[in-house]
């Protein structure tokens, strides 16, 4: 009969000279890996992008080398408890990055039961396992028929973890499980992982850019290396503090986030008050580029021409703010309060649900063709991109051509302009060697840099960025920050939706805090935001 | 099968509160659908279809629906049925007394009845599907198809999981549209470039959908999906309710066809 404790026999992982090359690639994803994980050990796996961290996790989860990837090449051995991962079904469970694709079924209970069903666990034993797993990840309060689409990102990731725990795996694998979450979600998931894994005694292997989140909860840190000629196996391994002590410098240079090391931006004045990245000559008489008056925003009001626009319940209302040349504004607050919707509305991509967004004469008179209307959402695409540039959270949403170079040329060509800025941007964002590459094949950091560069190619006066630093390594973070400081200095106005307090500080941005327990709205201020009573008032 | 008896259905309590059709097995509901549809495709008279529509409206409470909820779900179908009926009435050859004439449109008594027959038939066939979908959980349908109808579970569960992503596609389409406008797509503003822009947007959506789908496939495979035998946490069973559902369908079909034949309105189309 079934045992009703969640304890499992923890798994041992052994890699000897293990390597993997994906089909159709010339470069190995992992090479010469020697690694031992003791049963029950909790290990944080670090390394620059391209070191093969995700490949190792996929291999251990038994999902590498499926039918589509048949000309892949494996070398050496990788074993779980002395068996090949593919033959050790159910010994390892994997949680990945994107919460939307971690949910399989429509009801919470069914989703958690899914893995156990696939392992042919007797039905009578499945539901006690499901309840236990939900309890372990702190979702025990949810009814089993709660719809999974109604969960937050952090809850979806905890649900995925519960689905894995219900399989009673000896090895839990986490591939950047918190990269897409807000700060509250990050801690929520981290705590659930540690509590559940400690209870079951399973071995834990977690890949994450942000060392600070995990370093006090793991037994060991393992660093994988990557040189110019490919991955180079384990570079360092040991207790977290010792490894960070000896490898911190090198890791930080490779873009790993090391606790206590916020990258220094080029153009930031050392020792100066960080909240004044704004040139003093401009700050007093900086012109307003865009103003919002009594603005309500809603996703549903997408119809640009007013045809068929339905009455929508605004997610956020009563917003008054000014965006000024050479100033940065950061919009912060918990998920779901309408930060992105506000940014998209200000950027002229969504129609306001009520109230107005109006470009100033300074913004309208940019370039040759002056728009007939002052409201950005009524501008034609051509009129929009020279005035307001928007960088979306997911870079792939904005790719419209087949090569990096064509992406950069696209904006100027639409405008019938010269392409003199293209080479400069290629070089500035370290994309020269990738000019011919397909944008979809780039790494996460490269995609982010490209998506910013493509928008800048049209020379907008106002830049709107949605979570620009999400999931980025420290190196891309610093490059992005330095570039934005430079733009601010040139009189561009920068609006960012972000959870990243370091980023806000580094740009010297005014902070606009949205949301609160009651759903009302207030404003916090860095330097220049005026607090309103029931409405948001901000200036930047 | 013996161990299945020990399984406490965790949704039993919620299901007990449901109206009759909510408690029925999805498979019997689809059987009922088939019975009614098959009975109604043979004739285009207005009487048999009218009786079926009337019966279907009467069983709405059994599915936890009322007229307003039904209208919210079914108005596009109603609109299509009205349009179909209208064009039939206008275009059918005019026999019998003309009761309506406006320009090129004329409508005789015969064509009016024909149009009415089409309208009601469209509704009579569409309404059961709307009613069944309104009171059926997709997961339960998949369970029934795999366990009772013995369809391959890889196919059934794969489809079920993929359907969840369809809901996300609507939002994704909107986001991609905005993201491309922010790049200056559709700048020249003529019809041709507008069409090209929509085509590009579709391609973007396709790429994102494939990415999502392959990530979901990895998630499912990592949870042991696809290889070897599996168990079912929710055994799909037939009960007395299901016999009533099938019987009800037979009664509705029988009444519609029987009365129509008895009155002489039945009118075979083949």
Please give the residue of chain A at the shortest CA–CA distance from B184.
A381
Question: Are A124 and B189 an interchain contact pair (Cβ–Cβ within 8 Å)?
Answer: no
Contact between A128 and A4 under an 8 Å Cβ cutoff? The reply is yes
Q: How far apart, in whole angstroms, are the C-alpha atoms of residue A120 and residue A113?
A: 11
Dmax (CA) for chain B in angstroms is 73
Kind of pairing between the strands at A230-238 and A30-37: unpaired
pLDDT in tens, A315-363: 888 899 999 999 999 998 887 788 999 999 999 999 999 899 999 988 9
- Which CATH entry fits the domain spanning A40-51+89-251: 3.40.50.20, 3.40.50.970, 3.40.50.740, 3.40.50.300? 3.40.50.300
Contact between A54 and A132 under an 8 Å Cβ cutoff? The reply is no
Residues B250-253: contacts with CB within 8 Å, 24+ apart? B250/B35, B252/B36, B252/B52, B252/B55, B252/B56, B253/B35, B253/B36, B253/B38, B253/B39, B253/B40, B253/B52
pLDDT in tens, B187-237: 566 777 778 888 888 998 998 998 889 889 999 999 999 878 899 999 898
Size of interface A-B (CB pairs under 8 A): 186
Question: Are A117 and B230 an interchain contact pair (Cβ–Cβ within 8 Å)?
Answer: yes
Q: How far apart, in whole angstroms, are the C-alpha atoms of residue A405 and residue A407?
A: 5
- Which pLDDT score, from 0 to 100, does residue B53 have? 94
Q: What is the CATH number of domain A280-387+460-539?
A: 3.40.50.300
- Please give the structure tokens belonging to residue A131: 């309840």
Q: How far apart, in whole angstroms, are the C-alpha atoms of residue A254 and residue A245?
A: 15
- Smallest CA–CA distance, residue A379 to chain B, in Å, is 10
Among candidates A123, A191, A117, which has minimal Cα distance to A161?
Answer: A191
> What totals of helices (H) and strands (E) does chain A contain, helices first?
16, 18
- Smallest CA–CA distance, residue A103 to chain B, in Å, is 8
Contact between A511 and A524 under an 8 Å Cβ cutoff? The reply is yes
Of A107, A115, A397, the CB nearest to B176: A397
Name the burial class of residue A67, with classes exposed (0-12), middle (13-18) and buried (19+) by CB atoms within 10 angstroms of its CB.
exposed
pLDDT in tens, A162-177: 999 999 999 999 998 9
Rg value, chain B, Cα: 24
B235 touches A: beta carbon within 8 Å: yes
What is the SS3 assignment for B25-45? CHHHHHHHHHHHHHHHCCECC
Name the burial class of residue A388, with classes exposed (0-12), middle (13-18) and buried (19+) by CB atoms within 10 angstroms of its CB.
buried
Return the SS3 of A19. Answer: strand
**Best mutation site among A397, A401, A415, A462 for testing chain B: the one with the most B CBs within 10 Å?**
A397
- Smallest CA–CA distance, residue B170 to chain A, in Å, is 12
> Which residues face A495 on adjacent strands?
A329, A464
Mean pLDDT calculated for residue range A386-394: 93
A392 interaction partners in chain B (CB closer than 8 Å): 175, 178-179, 182
Q: Is the ipTM of this complex over 0.90?
A: no
- Smallest CA–CA distance, residue A64 to chain B, in Å, is 9
- What's the order of all strands across the beta sheet hosting A203-207? A92-95, A171-175, A203-207, A42-46, A220-227, A230-238
Percent of chain B residues past pLDDT 70, beyond the cut: 92
Residue A181's pLDDT band, with cuts at 50, 70 and 90, is confident
Contact between A504 and A333 under an 8 Å Cβ cutoff? The reply is no
Percent of chain A residues past pLDDT 70, beyond the cut: 87
Please give the residue of chain A at the shortest CA–CA distance from B13.
A145
Rg value, chain A, Cα: 25
Question: Are B183 and A400 an interchain contact pair (Cβ–Cβ within 8 Å)?
Answer: yes
B4 interaction partners in chain A (CB closer than 8 Å): 123-124
A394 interaction partners in chain B (CB closer than 8 Å): 175, 179
B147 touches A: beta carbon within 8 Å: no
**Average per-residue pLDDT in chain A?**
83
Contact between A116 and A133 under an 8 Å Cβ cutoff? The reply is no
Q: How far apart, in whole angstroms, are the C-alpha atoms of residue B159 and residue B179?
A: 29
Question: Are A396 and B207 an interchain contact pair (Cβ–Cβ within 8 Å)?
Answer: yes
Of A107, A302, A410, the CB nearest to B183: A410
A495 interaction partners in chain B (CB closer than 8 Å): none
Alpha-carbon distance values, A462 to A83, A323, A496 (Å)? 57, 8, 11
pLDDT in tens, A442-478: 888 889 999 999 999 988 999 999 999 887 888 889 9
Of B165, B179, B232, the CB nearest to A392: B179
pLDDT in tens, B135-184: 898 899 999 999 999 999 989 999 999 888 887 888 889 899 999 999 98
Question: Are A398 and B179 an interchain contact pair (Cβ–Cβ within 8 Å)?
Answer: yes
- Which pLDDT score, from 0 to 100, does residue A287 have? 86
Mean pLDDT calculated for residue range B245-252: 95
Residue A308's pLDDT band, with cuts at 50, 70 and 90, is very low
Question: Are B230 and A120 an interchain contact pair (Cβ–Cβ within 8 Å)?
Answer: yes
pLDDT in tens, B105-138: 667 777 888 888 889 999 999 999 999 988 898 8
Question: Are A414 and B187 an interchain contact pair (Cβ–Cβ within 8 Å)?
Answer: yes
B139 touches A: beta carbon within 8 Å: yes
- Please give the structure tokens belonging to residue B266: 């039945």
Alpha-carbon distance values, A349 to A35, A292, A377, B18, B70 (Å)? 50, 14, 6, 43, 35
Max mean pLDDT range (A70-74, A271-275, A324-328): A324-328
pTM of the model: 0.82
- Which pLDDT score, from 0 to 100, does residue A473 have? 82
Same CATH topology for A40-51+89-251 and A280-387+460-539? yes
Q: How far apart, in whole angstroms, are the C-alpha atoms of residue B253 and residue B236?
A: 27
Alpha-carbon distance values, A62 to A92, A206, A388, B31, B108 (Å)? 8, 16, 46, 40, 71
Question: Are B222 and A61 an interchain contact pair (Cβ–Cβ within 8 Å)?
Answer: yes
Q: How far apart, in whole angstroms, are the C-alpha atoms of residue A537 and residue A326?
A: 19
Please give the residue of chain A at the shortest CA–CA distance from B185.
A381
Task: Write down the domain spans for chain A.
Answer: 40-51+89-251, 280-387+460-539
Of B161, B174, B221, the CB nearest to A302: B174
Q: How far apart, in whole angstroms, are the C-alpha atoms of residue A462 and residue A289?
A: 8
Q: How far apart, in whole angstroms, are the C-alpha atoms of residue B221 and residue B218?
A: 5
Q: What does residue A239 show for φ and ψ, rounded to 5 degrees?
A: -65, 145
Contacting B residues, span 175-234, partner chain A, CB-CB under 8 Å: 175-176, 178-189, 200, 204, 207-208, 211-212, 215-216, 218-234
Among candidates A92, A107, A200, A119, which has minimal Cα distance to A149?
Answer: A107
């Amino acid at each position: 009969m079934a045992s009703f404790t969640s304890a499992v026999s923890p798994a041992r992982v052994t890699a000897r000279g293990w390597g993997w090359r994906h089909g159709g690639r010339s470069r190995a994803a992992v090479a010469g890996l020697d690694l031992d994980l003791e049963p029950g050990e909790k290990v944080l796996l670090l390394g620059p992008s391209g070191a093969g961290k995700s490949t190792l996790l996929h291999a251990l989860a038994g999902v590498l080398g499926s039918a589509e990837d048949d000309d892949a090449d494996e070398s050496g051995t990788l074993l779980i408890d002395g068996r090949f991962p593919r033959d050790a079904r159910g010994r390892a469970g994997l949680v990945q990055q994107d919460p939307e694709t971690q949910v399989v079924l429509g009801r919470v209970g069914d989703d958690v039961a899914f893995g156990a069903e696939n392992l042919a666990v007797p039905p009578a034993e499945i539901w006690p396992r499901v309840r236990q797993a939900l309890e372990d990840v702190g979702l025990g309060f949810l009814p089993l028929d709660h719809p999974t689409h109604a969960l937050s990102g952090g809850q979806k990731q905890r649900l995925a973890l519960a689905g894995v725990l219900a399989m009673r795996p000896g090895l839990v694998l986490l591939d950047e499980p918190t990269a897409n979450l807000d700060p509250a979600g990050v801690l929520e998931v981290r705590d659930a992982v540690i509590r559940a894994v400690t209870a079951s005694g399973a071995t834990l292997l977690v890949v994450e850019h942000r060392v600070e989140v995990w370093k006090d909860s793991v037994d060991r840190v393992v660093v994988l290396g990557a040189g110019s000629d490919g991955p180079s196996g384990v570079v360092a391994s040991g207790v977290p503090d010792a490894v960070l002590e000896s490898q911190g410098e090198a890791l930080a240079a490779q873009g790993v986030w090391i606790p206590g090391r916020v990258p220094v931006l080029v153009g930031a004045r050392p020792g100066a008050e960080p909240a004044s990245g704004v040139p003093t000559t401009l700050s007093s008489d900086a012109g307003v580029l865009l103003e919002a008056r009594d603005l309500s925003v809603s996703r549903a009001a997408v119809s640009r021409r007013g045809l068929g626009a339905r009455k929508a319940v605004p997610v956020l209302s009563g917003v008054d703010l000014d965006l000024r040349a050479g100033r940065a504004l950061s919009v912060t607050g918990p998920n779901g309060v309408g930060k992105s919707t506000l940014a998209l509305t200000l950027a002229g991509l969504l129609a306001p649900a009520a109230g107005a967004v109006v470009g100033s004469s300074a913004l309208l008179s940019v370039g040759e063709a002056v728009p007939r209307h002052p409201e950005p959402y009524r501008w034609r695409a051509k009129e929009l991109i020279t005035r307001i540039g928007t960088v979306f959270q997911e870079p792939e949403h904005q790719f419209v051509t087949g090569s990096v170079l064509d992406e950069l040329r696209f904006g100027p060509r639409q405008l019938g302009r010269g392409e003199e800025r293209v080479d400069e941007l290629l070089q500035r964002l370290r994309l020269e060697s990738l000019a011919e590459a397909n944008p979809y094949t780039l790494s996460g950091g490269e995609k982010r840099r490209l998506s910013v560069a493509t928008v800048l190619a049209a020379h907008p006066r106002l830049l709107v960025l949605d979570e620009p630093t999400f999931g980025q390594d420290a190196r891309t973070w610093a490059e992005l920050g330095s570039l934005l400081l430079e733009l601010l200095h040139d009189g561009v106005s920068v609006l960012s939706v972000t959870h990243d307090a370091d980023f806000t500080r580094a740009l010297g941005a005014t902070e606009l805090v949205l949301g609160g327990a009651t759903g009302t709205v207030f404003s916090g201020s860095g330097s220049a935001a005026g607090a309103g009573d029931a409405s948001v008032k901000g200036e930047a | 099968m013996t161990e299945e008896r020990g399984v406490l259905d965790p949704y039993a309590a919620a299901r007990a509160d449901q109206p009759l059709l909510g408690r029925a097995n999805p498979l019997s509901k689809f059987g009922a659908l088939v019975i009614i549809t098959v009975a109604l495709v043979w004739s285009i008279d207005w009487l048999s279809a009218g009786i079926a529509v009337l019966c279907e409206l009467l069983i709405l409470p059994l599915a936890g629906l009322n007229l307003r909820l039904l209208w919210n779900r079914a108005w596009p179908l109603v609109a299509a049925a009205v349009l179909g009926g209208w064009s039939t009435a206008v275009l059918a050859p005019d026999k019998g007394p003309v009761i309506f004439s406006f320009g090129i449109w004329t409508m005789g008594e015969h064509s009016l009845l024909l149009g009415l027959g089409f309208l009601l038939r469209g509704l009579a066939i569409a309404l059961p599907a709307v009613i069944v979908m309104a009171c059926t959980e997709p997961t339960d349908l998949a369970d029934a198809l795999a366990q009772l109808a013995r369809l391959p579970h890889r196919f059934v569960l794969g489809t079920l999981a993929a359907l969840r992503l369809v809901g996300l596609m609507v939002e994704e389409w909107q986001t991609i549209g905005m993201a491309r406008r922010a790049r200056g797509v559709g700048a020249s503003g003529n019809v041709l470039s507008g069409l090209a822009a929509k085509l590009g947007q579709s391609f973007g959506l396709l790429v994102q959908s494939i990415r999502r789908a392959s990530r979901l496939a990895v998630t499912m495979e990592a949870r042991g999906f696809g290889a070897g035998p599996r168990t079912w946490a929710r055994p799909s069973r037939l009960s007395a309710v299901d016999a009533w559902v099938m019987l009800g369908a037979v009664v509705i079909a029988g009444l519609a066809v029987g009365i129509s034949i008895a009155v002489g309105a039945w009118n075979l189309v083949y």
